[in-house]
Amino acid sequence: MVTYNTHPDAIKILEGVGEVVISKKLITSEEELIELARDADALMVVKSVEPVSERVIENVPRLKIIARVGVGYDNVDVRAATRRGIWVTIAPVNSVAVAEHTLALIFSLARKIPLLDRHVRSGLWYRSLGTPQNLMGVDLWGKVLGIIGLGRIGREVALRARCLGMKILYYDIVRRKDLEEQLGIEFKNLEDLLRESDFVSIHTPLTEETRHLIDEEELRLMKPTAYLINTSRGAVVNTKALVRALKEGWIAGAALDVFEEEPLPPDNELTRLDNVILTPHAASYTAETYRKLAVTAAEEIVRVLRGDKPLYPVNQE
């Protein structure tokens, strides 16, 4: 069972091993998911909002694998799946796309691209024959980028940012001395990273330990000229604290691809702020990566249904 429309190449792969049921709309409730997946041997979870809870897992008796089309799996109860002997897999093939999106957001913040675009479209540039001081950007060369989470995506961001002449700091629960010289990066504890960075980019999974990792106390540590970028999971940042920080000038701005509530309601307070850039959980949304993610998840399902072990499990036997 496929929880939402995905790449046709992935569907063809799945059709080679059995009947494929595809949900025509986004699934956001346990009841909907149970109804559609009740007889499934495999579940391909396309989005990050489908509630693959213990209740859902217990009501799909033939289930052998839950394959996420992506790397985040906080909407899947891994413990419940593991107790049932069900594989939970990810598709860790989106690192380059997310890293590129992160850099696009950093550039947009530094050079105020969305505000400049509005300035031209509104006719203000034509009428004023100039660009006001509040639209002046900053150079990235020589700035400090702090990366929280040095996994696959964090490493790709560091590699690219170094080419821009940025100084790279990182924080991770595991210090990676093997990568420090290779990438030209420096380890810092979280507090020092926040104090010293001009741009802070989050690349950590959502766990009980990382939920609201960035809260009021952490935001107050940042420079008033600093920017926060989040392309990981929305709940890693306390949204209420971030809104206050943006309104009161604790930080200069933010760029968010992920949110505590998704899809983000149009009346959310973030949508009314000029110093935040918002994208719709689209960091992986390139033609190439869209296909790779779906095909990787489909191939994991085929492996398990044929009696083999998956390549990218998050739980072990």
Angle 58-39-299 from CA coordinates, rounded to 5°: 95
* Residues 317, 81 contacting (CB under 8 angstroms): no
Same domain, residue pair 70 and 140: no
Token code pair at residue 250: 């604790």
Token code pair at residue 294: 């779906």
Active site residues: 233, 262, 281
Same domain, residue pair 15 and 100: no
Token code pair at residue 46: 């396309």
Taking the C-alpha atoms of residue 258 and residue 102, their distance in angstroms, rounded to an integer, is: 12
Per-residue pLDDT of the chain (317 residues), as tens digits, is 999 999 999 999 999 999 999 999 999 999 999 999 999 999 999 999 999 999 999 999 999 999 999 999 999 999 999 999 999 999 999 999 999 999 999 999 999 999 999 999 999 898 887 778 889 999 999 999 999 999 999 999 999 999 999 999 999 999 999 999 999 999 999 999 999 999 999 999 999 999 999 999 999 999 999 999 999 999 999 999 999 999 999 999 999 999 999 999 999 999 999 999 999 999 999 999 999 999 999 999 999 999 999 999 999 76
In a domain, 310, yes or no: no
In a domain, 312, yes or no: no
In three-state secondary structure terms, 216 is helix
Q: What is the 3-state secondary structure (H, E, C) of 184-195?
A: CEEECCHHHHHH
Closest C-alpha to 230, from 250, 248, 212: 212
Taking the C-alpha atoms of residue 27 and residue 47, their distance in angstroms, rounded to an integer, is: 9
The domain that holds 81 is classified in CATH as: 3.40.50.720
